[in-house]
Amino acid sequence: MKKWATGSKPELPGLEDSTSLRVRYAETDAMGWVYYANYFTYFEVGRTEMIRRSWRSYSDLEHEGYRLPVIESHCRYFHGARYDDQLDIQTRLTLPTALRLHFEYRVVRVNDGKLLAEGFTVHCFLGESGKPVPVPAELRMLVTA
């Protein structure tokens, strides 16, 4: 298992996934580097693909009346990415409480294996009323298995 340095306790069971993407020109700044805020978009790609592949799509969840707002986020940058770099977005999901999801991310450049950034987002499940609801049992079982 990878070293996840962004906060989850090693003993917490988790679900892991990896998604690849290529940096688009529009994601870079005037200096030619990926604009810092775009790493949060990469985190979103990793998160939504993980949920889709392991459980169901975000749009299905929304049709069922759920929302998963980000309630906390953090990113630490180590090296920059440039246009056309192939990136591997590694994502890990843990459930620290019955009401929260904790996603951790590592953005790695494929051609040299260099860790570019790591971070996390914390989410809660909201029901149709807009109030927090417990993480659905089906997802909890997937993550803690």
For residue 50, give the CATH number of its domain: 3.10.129.10
Is residue 89, in this structure, part of any structural domain at all? yes
> Cα-Cα-Cα-Cα dihedral of 135, 53, 85, 117, to 10°?
20
**With a threshold of 0.85, does the pTM exceed it?**
yes
Q: Which residues form the domain of 96? A: 15-144
Q: Does position 11 have pLDDT exceeding 90, yes or no?
A: no
pLDDT of residue 9: 52
Is residue 8, in this structure, part of any structural domain at all? no
> How confident is residue 1, by pLDDT bands cut at 50, 70 and 90?
very low
> How confident is residue 145, by pLDDT bands cut at 50, 70 and 90?
confident
Is residue 120, in this structure, part of any structural domain at all? yes
Is residue 2, in this structure, part of any structural domain at all? no
Is residue 41, in this structure, part of any structural domain at all? yes
Q: How many domains does the chain have?
A: 1
Is residue 97, in this structure, part of any structural domain at all? yes
Is residue 4, in this structure, part of any structural domain at all? no
Q: Alpha-carbon distance 54 to 56, whole Å?
A: 7
